Amino acid sequence: MTPPRPGQVIAPDQAPPDSAAGSTHEDDLRIVGTPFRRVDGWAKVTGQTRFADDMTFPRMIHMRLVRSTLPHAFIQSIDTSKAEEMAGVVGVLTGKDMPEPFGILPVSQDEHALCLEKVRFVGDPVVAVAALTEDQAADACSAVKIEYEPLTTISSVDEALETHEPLIHDYGDEGNLHKKISLQFGAVEDGFAEADEILEDVMFYEGSTHLPMEQHAAVAVPEGGGRITLYTSTQTPHYVHKVLAQVLGMPASRVRVIACSVGGGFGGKSDIFNHEIAVAKMALVTGRPVKICLNREEVFYCHRGRHPVLMHLRTGFTKDGAMVAQHLKTALDGGAYGSYGVASTYYTGALQTVTYGLPRYRFDSIRAFTNKPPCGPKRGHATVQPRFALEVHLDKAAQRLGIDPADLRLNNLLPPDSITANYLKVGSIGLGACIQAVVDGSGWRERFQSLPHGRGLGLACGSYLTGAGLPIHWNHLPQSAVQLKLDRTGTVAAYCGEAEIGQGSDSVLAACVAEVLGIGLDDVLLCVGDTGLTPVDLGSYSSRVTLMVGRAAIQAAERARDRLAEAVAEKLDVPADRLVFAESRVFDSGSPENGMPFAEAVQQAEEKFGALATTGSYAPPRAPGRYRGSGVGPSPTYSYSACVIEVEVDPETGLYRVEHVWIAHDIGRAINPVLTIGQVEGSVYMGLGEAMMEEQVFRRLPKSRSSALVHKVPSMLEYKSPTFHEMPPVTTYLIEDPDPEGPFGAKEVGQGPLLPVIPALANAIFDAVGVRIDQVPIGPHMIRKALEDKEAGGDGRYGPKSFPDIDFGVPLMVPTPDEGGDGRATNTEEAGVRKGSGTMTDGVRKGSKP
């Protein structure tokens, strides 16, 4: 078989299913599926795009924050008197000015815009100062005097487990544990009893941060009528809007949030941040526009990045490599606040079931509070760590069982349209085609285990959500909506709350509208990410935008098309179902010359119906799980990816270089192949960064000398992220098998392709030099150590030795679909868990103040 071409689109044999979401037949599509120029591209390359820091207003002043220099302490006193008298200073705020707690999840309302009684990590903001210039604000910040009473600091999960006093927060599941979960799906022990081989692994995934090029910035502008507008670099204007109103104590109708173009988010701009609230308050207090732009070090303190996770994985296999039961334990180092942490905790277990058949499954997890910047969602949100563990674990199983790692996976693929042991409903699965593409492309069959010592190939897979099935604030409202306004010029204005963070969501919105209405991309005028003008979209997270905005846009456009068709049909005297919308015209498919320009069609319809506007919206289908915790994991559809990495390792030094990456992604349908390949390559880049070198790590100074616990290297020079010298050539295959849930069949691409990259590297290193590195990032010293260990007769492994001994109590028992389960837990009382499926909304104690 000839290897596929790079960038080749591979369509599986079966005919695409009919879909409610736009046509999926390639012949009918003009824009979707072609590589078109992104609609915001021109402005970006010519510097016309206005990022939040580009915003400027008359009388605008500048704000800076004084941040804690202690990792854990009570605030004894704050003296701002000297700062207030300094040249140019206009306003000073402390925690007392905004005492209302907040947090992105209703269940973790544990943050304050400025710290109230306590600071919880070095970098926690305490005071805000605004002055005529940024220099004056910075000088005045240096004049603020804060006295602290230091507290014992907690720097790791182990310390959190040991330390019962002091508590970082006065809420949580137990001591300094924010969250503790135990879920069991089916008779897991029976499964292990049937196994031919049981494999056990302990693995560690270090934390890392998003490192967006754009530092967070926000500008707040007081407006007439007691309103306030916040321009900010955010992925989630809707949530910023909600929380801002809550903390400022203003009606949401008086608060407007505008998401500026974002210069990189990757999950790091999905929370609402202290500075966004403080800058708005400062604008209200001073009556002037106020700007804040964080410096790079502060961005490291905002964080919300990848959780460091220690994992224990035990799996029973049959002789031919099928999994019969699995028990996964994860321990997350959460940092100082809740953030998305409850969701993250569940996500470390949720998607283990969606790639390969797994009939019985148990999942235990804790998330600890520590005195470090809070962790949260980063590309692949908390599914990346257990995916690393699983895919390396499978590589070891394949080795133990004498099965080719590609076959082990291919033979045990989850069938399409399955309901998994943990009640995720999975639709189309293109994973088999993905594996086949990278196996063929890399010459796997001939080259795996056959390359010279020092060269190796590794294979791994992954899967990700195309949008979280449930909203953060539990309700039955649409999760995305689009409004279209059609005017006499033929321009269609599309209003939508989505936030363009560089991923191309504007282009997807414009393409869906233009495709349905048969007009050009230039004829669509976008108004997005503005809570004052646009209907709600929940935001750019969980890879939801293409699917949900796309579906809403198609619905709105189809409604507009129907109206136009009705008017045009009457005018041309042809049946409406014979009309075609294409080339910016509406015409009779029977005699194409019989038609009119699109603008004229709009005028006809306006004459008939009055001013024209339509709406569309989308809410995901309900998931089958009914147990507490089942809210995390469901998605309208899942994307799949497979990756092969070729690596060259120098056994003498442990230094290595990634030579080539082959990656295939099951995208359903590429709305724009160029943008999607860009997302795949970006994911490869970010995945390699995490696999090779990126780490958000901390330095604790000798306890006898100092209580310091600081970010080791909060700078772009010393926080190592690959440069293009480290970026290998990448061959991307898009696997197109349109999914009925997706717009034109599309699934996500922004996050999924990152997942297989990390384990593929670890597996490739094993093929190259025969040692297992069970943690990332993989440093050369680890390879050297493992090789030395092997030379000394050891097992040639580098990684964590053990998982802490934690009493997870009685797991919540959920019989699987195969066992006749109905998605409900059977021992809710005994497991001490509240009923219902909500996870992020209620059920545990609220923060310091409700």
Binding site for other proteins (CB under 8 A): 67, 69-71, 122, 134-135, 138, 293, 295, 297, 454, 648-650, 652-657, 693, 699, 701-702, 705-706, 708, 710-715, 717-718, 720, 722-723, 725-726, 779-781, 784
Contact 773, 782 (CB under 8 A): yes
Q: Which is nearer to other proteins, 699 or 849 (CB)?
A: 699
Q: Which is nearer to other proteins, 132 or 582 (CB)?
A: 132
Closest contact distance (angstroms) between CB of 63 and other proteins is 13
Closest contact distance (angstroms) between CB of 214 and other proteins is 13
Find, among 557, 674, 482, 501, the residue nearest to 38 by Cα. Answer: 674
Closest contact distance (angstroms) between CB of 646 and other proteins is 14
Long-range contacts of 13-21 (CB under 8 A, 24+ apart): 14/737, 16/737, 16/738, 16/745, 17/738, 17/740, 18/740, 19/738, 19/740, 19/742, 19/744, 19/745, 20/740, 21/550, 21/551, 21/554, 21/740, 21/741, 21/742, 21/743, 21/744, 21/745
The CA distance from 505 to 498, in Å, is 7
Closest contact distance (angstroms) between CB of 507 and other proteins is 31
Helix (H/G/I), strand (E/B), else coil: 755:
coil
Give the position of tokens 């772009």: 716
Q: Which is nearer to other proteins, 67 or 112 (CB)?
A: 67
Closest contact distance (angstroms) between CB of 718 and other proteins is 7
For residue 748, report the phi and psi dihedrals to the nearest 5 degrees: -75, 165
Q: Which is nearer to other proteins, 62 or 425 (CB)?
A: 62
Q: Which is nearer to other proteins, 60 or 713 (CB)?
A: 713
Nearest 5°: the CA angle 435, 439, 444 is: 145
The CA distance from 636 to 620, in Å, is 6
Closest contact distance (angstroms) between CB of 69 and other proteins is 4
Q: Which is nearer to other proteins, 136 or 543 (CB)?
A: 136
DSSP label of 111: B
β-bridge mates for residue 710, sequence order: 699
DSSP label of 356: B
Contact 146, 126 (CB under 8 A): yes
Q: Which is nearer to other proteins, 218 or 482 (CB)?
A: 218
Give the position of tokens 């990410």: 529
Closest contact distance (angstroms) between CB of 417 and other proteins is 45
Peptide bond into 99 cis (omega under 30): no
> Are β-strands 290-293 and 61-67 bridged in parallel, bridged antiparallel, or unpaired?
parallel
Closest contact distance (angstroms) between CB of 655 and other proteins is 4
Say how many residues make up the chain: 850
Closest contact distance (angstroms) between CB of 448 and other proteins is 21
Closest contact distance (angstroms) between CB of 13 and other proteins is 42
Output the six-digit token pair for 151. 């507290």
Q: Which is nearer to other proteins, 59 or 712 (CB)?
A: 712
Q: Which is nearer to other proteins, 150 or 251 (CB)?
A: 150
Closest contact distance (angstroms) between CB of 653 and other proteins is 6
Closest contact distance (angstroms) between CB of 758 and other proteins is 18
Contact 737, 16 (CB under 8 A): yes
Q: Which is nearer to other proteins, 180 or 797 (CB)?
A: 797
Q: Which is nearer to other proteins, 148 or 171 (CB)?
A: 148
Closest contact distance (angstroms) between CB of 386 and other proteins is 27
Helix (H/G/I), strand (E/B), else coil: 839:
coil
Q: Which is nearer to other proteins, 421 or 649 (CB)?
A: 649
Q: Which is nearer to other proteins, 424 or 645 (CB)?
A: 645
The CA distance from 522 to 366, in Å, is 50
Q: Which is nearer to other proteins, 45 or 717 (CB)?
A: 717
Closest contact distance (angstroms) between CB of 728 and other proteins is 10
Neighbours of 147 (CB within 10 A): 11
Output the six-digit token pair for 6. 């790079």
Give the position of tokens 């809710």: 828
DSSP label of 102: B
The CA distance from 577 to 687, in Å, is 48
Find, among 514, 392, 386, the residue nearest to 771 by Cα. Answer: 392
DSSP label of 17: P
The CA distance from 26 to 738, in Å, is 10
The CA distance from 474 to 842, in Å, is 9
Contact 271, 108 (CB under 8 A): no
Closest contact distance (angstroms) between CB of 75 and other proteins is 16
Q: Which is nearer to other proteins, 164 or 657 (CB)?
A: 657
Output the six-digit token pair for 101. 């707690």
Amino acid at 80: T
The CA distance from 483 to 537, in Å, is 11
The CA distance from 63 to 293, in Å, is 8
Closest contact distance (angstroms) between CB of 631 and other proteins is 39
Closest contact distance (angstroms) between CB of 299 and other proteins is 12
Contact 689, 723 (CB under 8 A): no
Q: Which is nearer to other proteins, 306 or 711 (CB)?
A: 711
Find, among 147, 134, 148, 150, the residue nearest to 65 by Cα. Answer: 134
Give the position of tokens 């599986």: 12
Find, among 120, 179, 95, 16, the residue nearest to 709 by Cα. Answer: 120
The CA distance from 620 to 748, in Å, is 14
**HSE-up (13 A, CA, CB side) for residue 485:** 11
Q: Which is nearer to other proteins, 9 or 655 (CB)?
A: 655
Q: Which is nearer to other proteins, 476 or 705 (CB)?
A: 705
Between the alpha carbon of residue 24 and those of residues 32, 737, 738, the distances in Å are 10, 10, 7
Helix (H/G/I), strand (E/B), else coil: 524:
strand
HEC string of 178-209 equals EEEEEEEECCHHHHHHHCCEEEEEEEEECCEC
C-alpha torsion angle, residues 368, 369, 370, 376 (rounded to 10): 90
Closest contact distance (angstroms) between CB of 215 and other proteins is 8
